[in-house]
Amino acid sequence: MDQNLVVKKRRIVLVPVPAQGHVTPIMQLGKALHSKGFSITVVQTQYNRVSSSKYFSDFNFLTIPGSLTESDLKNLGPLQFMLKLNQVCEASFKQCLGQLLKEQGDDDEIACVIYDEYMSLSKAAAKEFQLPSVVFSTTSATAFLCRSVIAKVNADKFLTDMKDLELQDKLFPGLHPLRYKDLPTSAFGPIESIPRVYSETVNIGTASAVIINTSTCLESSTLARLQRELQVPVYPIGPLHIAASAPSSLLEEDRSCIEWLNMQKPRSVIYVSLGSLALMEIKDALEMAWGLSNSNQPFLWVIRPGSIPSSEWTESLPEEFSKLVSERGYIVKWAPQMEVLRHPAVGGFWSHCGWNSTLESIGEGVPMICRPFTGDQKVNARYLQSVWRVGFQLEGELEKEDVERAVKRLLVDEEGAHMRKRAIELKKKLESSVRPGGSSCSSLDDFISSLKMKSS
Ligand code: UDP
């Protein structure tokens, strides 16, 4: 570490979104910055809090008050939840930051507030206290760019176009190779709220920089374009899970699946997981179940409790399927995903294509079957298939025959072997980017130098 980089101001305040896909990378960022000599304070709301495990024993965790009503918690989709959470916690966050500033010592001054792009409550507080603030994007640069483009187009026209079925397979102007249907609109809330939410997230206010969990080897042209548009430095410092591993699972991991993987042949298993939020219709779950069984490949399937609506866990799957599972499958409620992807028995990943899962899969050289549900997952799926060519999308109605064919295509056919080869090439590039001298590693150092310049 270059000791000169951290001279005076040395505490960084992190403000995560309380959801697994956001918590994981911001805690990794905290770990990376901590290893460069900064103290870390994590300011959280009362929802989905990260606990101070042995990995974060040096971090300071603060919880701010502010809660939503029972009815809001039950009825709001994630996007509406975030808008409301920002409203109800804005004052308490300001108070918390004010208190931190009062208490700080000479050798522990706050260098900056790094907030998740969906925690817009940070903007007003950072501005009031004239603290440098930095936006952290947990999605791809391309998804960020999409939000910026959507925020600028005419909202009425955008909403009309997105409802026009004939347009859906056409390319969206200026965002090649994304089609209308690949844009990060969300099934988690009404599409009408999208332009407003996106203008909120891409309006970086007084932020002095944007940090993105990506690498130039994945998104160089998008990053160059974002850099031109945003007019503040953009730092691609990912993939953070390679740069700074920091386990922060909000759910308990079932490690028994690793023992099961140990008994499978190399590259024979299809790992199936839809992340921490996606829900699956019972009809699709059944087609998946039969398709996976009929593929004759061993499968490890994460079924989160409650992810099949109206079902506690797997009781809606047929009795015969349970018998098949004991022969060639394994089902868990939550897996140690990184370890699973790294396991030599895993040959492919059936994924909803959340950005963390995407980075983790290509970071381990594992090719993917892409079945996105919502938001930026559709952008990632399109890139996995058309740009990086390390996976393919399953679009339209899900039938068991398609599931069976897809699994064989990825694990048995030559086409799958080519995708794996490309995934392994990308894995090497990603690993080099976070090593000293690599683009992401240098980008992180540049960011730290910029903090030093501000404090001197
Ligand atoms: N994950 C995990 N175990 C599981 C499923 C997911 O640890 O059984 C982790 C995964 O490694 C990733 C995160 O949960 O880091 C999911 O984030 P992602 O961006 O892929 O999707 P989201 O949950 O935000 O939709």
Q: For the segment 202-250, what is each residue's pLDDT rounded down to a tens digit? A: 788 889 999 999 999 999 999 999 999 998 999 999 999 998 888 888 8
- Using CA atoms, how far apart are residues 39 and 31, in angstroms rounded to an integer? 10
Using N-to-C axis directions, what is the helix angle for 194-202 and 78-103, rounded to 10°? Answer: 20
With 90 as the cut, is the pLDDT of residue 138 above it? yes
pLDDT of residue 309: 84
pLDDT above 90 coverage of the chain, percent = 76
Q: What is the reported pTM?
A: 0.95
Which residue's CA is the closest to the ligand 1 atom numbered 13?
Answer: 21
The closest residue, in CA terms, to atom 1 on ligand 1 is 337
- The pLDDT score that the predictor gives to residue 312 is 87
Determine contact, residues 322/289, Cβ cutoff 8 Å: no
ipTM over 0.90: yes
Q: Which atom of ligand 1 is nearest to the CA of 22?
A: 24
Q: What value does the mean pLDDT of the chain take?
A: 92
**Locus of tokens 């930095």:** 134
At residue 439, the pLDDT reads: 98
Q: Is the CB of 249 under 6 A from ligand 1?
A: yes
pLDDT of residue 1: 45
Distance 21 CA to ligand 1 centre (A): 6
CA of 94 to the centre of ligand 1 (A): 30
The one-letter code for the residue type at 264 is: Q
Question: What is the predicted pLDDT for the residue at 456?
Answer: 56
Does residue 411 line the site of ligand 1, with CB under 6 A?
A: no
> Cα separations (Å) of 433 from 24, 242, 362, 443?
20, 10, 13, 10
Is the CB of 302 within 6 Å of ligand 1? yes
pLDDT score, position 4: 47
What pLDDT, on the 0 to 100 scale, is given for residue 19?
Answer: 94
Per-residue pLDDT tens for 420-443? 999 999 999 999 999 999 999 999
Q: How large is the average pLDDT for residues 347-372?
A: 98
Percent of the chain with pLDDT over 70: 97
> Please, are residues 82 and 17 in contact by the beta-carbon 8 Å criterion?
yes
The residue-averaged pLDDT of 321-330 equals: 84
Atom nearest to 253 CA in ligand 1: 3
What is the average per-residue pLDDT within 128-151?
94
* Res 254: pLDDT: 97
Tens digits of per-residue pLDDT, 42-68?
Answer: 999 999 998 777 788 899 999 999 999
Q: What are phi and psi of 114, to 5 degrees?
A: -110, 115
What integer pLDDT is reported at residue 8 of this predicted model? 57
Give the CA angle between residues 23, 29, 30 to the nearest 5°: 85
Sign of CA dihedral 333, 285, 266, 434: negative
Rounded Cα gap, residues 285 and 291, in angstroms: 10
pLDDT tens digit string along 166-200? 999 999 999 999 999 999 987 666 788 788 778 87
Q: Whose CA is nearest to atom 17 of ligand 1?
A: 21
Alpha-carbon dihedral angle through residues 149, 151, 152, 155, given to the nearest 10 degrees: 120
Confidence of residue 6 (pLDDT cuts 50, 70, 90): very low
pLDDT value, residue 54: 76
Spacing of C-alpha 281 from chain mean position: 22
pLDDT of residue 454: 65
Beta carbon of 275 within 6 Å of any ligand 1 atom: yes
pLDDT tens, position by position, 76-134: 888 889 889 999 999 999 999 999 999 998 888 999 999 999 999 999 999 999 999 99
Note the Cα 285 to chain centre separation in Å. Answer: 23
Handedness of CA 418, 420, 422, 424 (dihedral sign): negative
Q: Give residue 235's pLDDT.
A: 98
